[in-house]
Structure 1
Amino acid sequence: MPYYDIYDANIRCGRGAATSGPGTKTATAVAGSEVGFVIGRSADEPLEPYVIYHNGPGMVYLSLSTTPDLSLYEGDGDWFKIAYLGPKNDTYWSTRDQTGMNFTVPFNTPPGRYLLRIEHLYVRPAYNTTQFYVACAQVEVVGQGGGSPGPLVRFPGAYELEDEGIMVKEEMYDWPLSGLLGYKPPGPEVWKG
Structure 2
Amino acid sequence: MKTTIYAASLLLAGSVSAHGGVISYTIDGKTYAGLSTSPPPGGAANTIQRSWAKLDPIRDPNSPNLACNSPGAPAKLSATATAGATITAKWNNWPHNSGPLLVWMTECKGDCSTFSPAGADWFKIYQEGLLSGTIGHGKWATRQMIENNESLSVKIPESLKPGNYLIRHETINLARAPAEFYPECAQLKVVGSGSASPSEQFRAKLPGAYHKSDSAFAHAYSDAAVSSNTKYVIPGPPVWTGN
After superposition, where does 1:97-176 map in structure 2 within 5 Å?
A: 97-98=146-147, 99-124=150-175, 126=177, 129-150=178-199, 151-167=202-218, 170=221
Matched position secondary structure for 2:113: helix
Counterpart of 2:63?
Answer: 8
Larger-gyration structure (1/2): 2
Gaps (5+ residues) in structure 1? 41-49
Matched position secondary structure for 2:167: strand
Residue 3 of structure 1: how far off its partner (Å): 0.9
Q: C-alpha separation between the residues in 2 aligned to 1:141 and 1:168?
A: 38
Residue 109 of structure 1: how far off its partner (Å): 1.1
Residue 170 of structure 1: how far off its partner (Å): 4.2
Matched position secondary structure for 1:9: coil
In structure 2, the CA distance between the partners of 1:16 and 1:72, relative to structure 1 (3 Å rule), is same
Contact 1:79–1:154, Cα closer than 8 Å, also in 2: yes
Q: C-alpha separation between the residues in 2 aligned to 1:168 and 1:108?
A: 38
Q: C-alpha separation between the residues in 1 aligned to 2:176 and 2:187?
A: 33
Are positions 1:79 and 2:134 aligned together? no
Matched position secondary structure for 1:36: strand
Counterpart of 2:229?
Answer: 179
Matched position secondary structure for 1:95: helix
Q: How many residues align?
A: 174
Partner AA of 2:76 in structure 1 = T
Partner AA of 2:142 in structure 1 = T
In structure 2, the CA distance between the partners of 1:70 and 1:131, relative to structure 1 (3 Å rule), is same
Partner AA of 1:148 in structure 2 = S
Gaps (5+ residues) in structure 2? 1-55
Question: What's the Cα RMSD here?
Answer: 2.2
Deviation string 1:88-109 (CA, Å, 9 cap, x unpaired) is 3222013212412221111111
- Specify which structure has the bigger relative contact order, considering alpha-carbon pairs within 8 angstroms and separated by 6 or more residues: 1
Matched position secondary structure for 1:161: coil
Q: C-alpha separation between the residues in 1 aligned to 2:219 and 2:157?
A: 29
Counterpart of 2:52?
Answer: none
Matched position secondary structure for 2:189: strand
Q: C-alpha separation between the residues in 1 aligned to 2:162 and 2:197?
A: 11
Q: C-alpha separation between the residues in 2 aligned to 1:189 and 1:125?
A: 25
Residue 152 of structure 1: how far off its partner (Å): 1.2
Q: C-alpha separation between the residues in 2 aligned to 1:24 and 1:31?
A: 22
Are positions 1:94 and 2:141 aligned together? yes
Matched position secondary structure for 1:165: helix
Partner AA of 1:37 in structure 2 = A
Partner AA of 1:33 in structure 2 = A
Q: C-alpha separation between the residues in 2 aligned to 1:102 and 1:89?
A: 20
In structure 2, the CA distance between the partners of 1:84 and 1:52, relative to structure 1 (3 Å rule), is farther
Counterpart of 1:28?
Answer: 80
